[in-house]
């Protein structure tokens, strides 16, 4: 199974403004979780994975006009794709390149800012359309001169993983030769208060897969990868390949995961089947691992079902970045690609003791190992479970 070639990546998160910083943080175990500094919220004690750029710094970096309609997630998205283009050495991206972006709340940061202001003032009404996820993708497309296939997936926390899957399908089917896929989400009061009302935010640094885990940390990020058909790559480097993907629905609860991890198990099984490999061929799993009681247990059971007694080394990198919601799938896709490049896996920070129910131990130190296939999980509200498999280009 050759899979779809990945020839570029760009990322910004609380652990790095570019690939190099990101990679350094991963290797040195540096978490980006802290109290919010730029993000304005009454819950200023809640820990988050914040990107240390203010909106105006992002505006300057992107050279936006005064009356632009970019929400923060849109700016982060454009920033990450700028990185992608630099890393790829593609000066100009052909206008027929497609883009599929995943986001959970798009530009709702603007709506919450101007909700009471819109009726009074005309000045900020240009952000009315910015609320919708599709608008965010359109603005990014316009920024880079992309005019053809532009689409958006919003399936909560699996959004960008699904965008990668759809992009791979578009390349495989020949519908597109080149597509930018990934996602972007920024910290918003809407999501922070939403997760707070669900009582699944930790007051501490999150500890995925730990017996004493007590919830998740939210984060913000944008991450995009470039997928290309083999006949247009030329002599550019292939960073890895998307060989497997699968989506299934847990069909159990609007927000909670099932006790037996059914959706996750089915997604993993589908991805393995698509990649044409056996479960023992997976060398490392980048888990969804949010740090909530419910997710980590359900996902662990899915591991046991899919891998039996031979669960490969796994870790959740959420303790580095926080849960970046719609962007998480793409963030972790890039972490997986870095792992493939460096033949090294990154630790599950803050882990102390295994869960009583499973006794599973994640990787807790940066570990050099031979890696050919990485499984990356992303699960979202609405029972949405997605697994992707990234393979080293041989």
Partner 1 sequence: MNRLYVNGISSISPQSEDILETGNLREYQSNIIPALKHDYKSMIQPMMLRRMSNAVKMGLFCSKKTLLDAQLDMPDAIMVGTGQGCLQDTEKFMEAMLTAEEGLLSPTSFIQSTHNTVGGQIALDLKCTAYNMTYTQNSVSFESALLDALLQARTESGTQNILVGGVDEVSPAFTGFQELDGQLKKEPVKNTDLLWSKTPGSIFSETASFFMLGSQETENSYAELVDVEIINTAEIQNIGERTERFLQTKNLTSSAIDIVILGNNGDSRYDPFYHELQEKLFAETLQLAYKHLVGENNSVSAYAFWIASKILKENKIPDFIKLNDLNCSKPRRILIYNQYLGKNHGLILLQKL
Partner 2 sequence: MSDLHTELKKSIIEQLNLEDMEVNEIENDEPLFGDGLGLDSIDALELIVLMEKDYGIKLSDPQQGKEVFNSINTMADFIEKNRTR
Structure-block tokens of residue 150: 């532009």
Cβ 256 to partner 2 shortest distance, Å: 6
198 binds partner 2, rule: CB under 8 A: yes
H-only helix segments in 133-214: 133-143, 159-172, 189-197
Cβ 156 to partner 1 shortest distance, Å: 5
Place of tokens 């027929």: 96
347 binds partner 1, rule: CB under 8 A: no
66 binds partner 2, rule: CB under 8 A: no
Q: Which stretch binds partner 1 (CB under 8 A): 206-214, 223-231, 247-255, 295-303?
A: 247-255
Pairing between strand 367-368 and 150-153?
A: unpaired
Cα–Cα dist 270/274, whole Å: 6
Of residues 79 and 195, the one with the C-beta less far from partner 2: 195
- SS3 percent helix, strand, coil of the chain, rounded to 5, is 35, 20, 45
Q: Write the DSSP assignment of 109-153 as a string of letters.
A: HHHHHHTTTTTT-SGGGGGTGGGSHHHHHHHHHHHTT--S-EEEE
Q: Which stretch binds partner 2 (CB under 8 A): 55-63, 250-258, 266-274, 307-315?
A: 250-258
199 binds partner 2, rule: CB under 8 A: yes
118 binds partner 1, rule: CB under 8 A: yes
Pairing between strand 48-49 and 33-34?
A: antiparallel
Cα–Cα dist 293/58, whole Å: 36
Of residues 38 and 198, the one with the C-beta less far from partner 2: 198
Chosen from partner 1, partner 2, none, partner binding at 201 (C-beta under 5 to 8 Å by type): none
Cβ-based neighbour number of residue 177 at 10 Å: 17
Cβ 146 to partner 1 shortest distance, Å: 7
Of residues 228 and 250, the one with the C-beta less far from partner 1: 250
Cβ-based neighbour number of residue 59 at 10 Å: 16
What does DSSP assign to residue 77? H
Cα–Cα dist 303/371, whole Å: 18
169 binds partner 1, rule: CB under 8 A: yes
Cβ 292 to partner 2 shortest distance, Å: 11
259 binds partner 2, rule: CB under 8 A: no
Q: Which residues bind partner 2 (CB under 8 A)?
A: 197-199, 253-256
- Which stretches of the chain bind partner 1, using CB under 8 A? 41-43, 104, 108, 111-112, 115-116, 118-119, 125, 128-129, 131-135, 137-138, 141-142, 146-156, 162, 166, 169-170, 172-173, 175, 189-190, 193-194, 196-198, 247-255, 262-263, 266, 380-384
């Amino acid at each position: 199974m050759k899979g779809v070639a990945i020839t570029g990546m760009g990322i910004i998160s609380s652990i790095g403004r570019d690939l190099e910083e990101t990679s350094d943080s991963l290797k040195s175990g540096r978490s980006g979780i802290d109290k919010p500094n730029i993000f304005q919220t009454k819950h200023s004690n809640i820990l988050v994975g914040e990107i240390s750029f203010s909106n105006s710094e992002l505006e300057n970096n992107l050279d936006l006009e005064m009356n632009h309609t970019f929400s923060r997630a849109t700016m982060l998205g454009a920033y990450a794709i700028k990185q992608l283009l630099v890393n790829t050495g593609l000066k100009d991206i052909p206008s027929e390149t497609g883009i599929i972006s995943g986001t959970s709340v798009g530009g709702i940061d603007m709506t919450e800012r101007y909700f009471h202001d819109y009726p009074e003032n005309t000045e900020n009404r240009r952000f009315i359309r910015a609320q919708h996820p599709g608008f965010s993708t359109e603005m990014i497309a316009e920024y880079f001169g992309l005019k053809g296939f532009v689409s958006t997936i919003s399936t909560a926390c699996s959004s960008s993983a699904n965008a990668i899957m759809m992009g791979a399908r578009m390349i495989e089917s020949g519908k597109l030769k080149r597509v930018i896929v990934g996602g972007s989400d920024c910290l918003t009061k809407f999501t922070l208060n939403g997760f707070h009302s669900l009582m699944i935010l930790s007051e501490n640094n999150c500890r995925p897969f730990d017996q004493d885990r007590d919830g998740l940390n939210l984060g913000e990020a944008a991450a995009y990868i470039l997928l290309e058909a083999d006949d247009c790559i030329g002599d550019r480097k292939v960073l890895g390949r998307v060989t497997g993907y699968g989506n299934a629905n847990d069909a159990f609860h609007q927000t909670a995961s099932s006790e037996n991890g059914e959706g996750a198990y089915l997604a993993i099984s589908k991805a393995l089947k698509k990649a044409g490999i056996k479960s023992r061929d997976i060398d490392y799993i980048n888990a969804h691992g949010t740090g909530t009681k419910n997710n980590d247990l359900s996902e662990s059971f899915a591991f046991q079902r899919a891998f039996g007694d031979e669960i490969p080394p796994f870790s959740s990198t959420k303790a580095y970045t926080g849960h970046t919601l719609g962007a998480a799938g793409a963030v972790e896709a890039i972490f997986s690609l870095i792992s493939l490049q460096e033949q090294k896996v990154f630790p599950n920070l803050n882990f102390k003791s295994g869960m009583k129910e499973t006794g599973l131990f994640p990787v807790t130190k940066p570990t050099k190992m031979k890696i050919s296939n990485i499984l990356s999980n992303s699960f979202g509200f609405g029972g949405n479970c997605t697994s992707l498999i990234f393979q080293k280009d041989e």
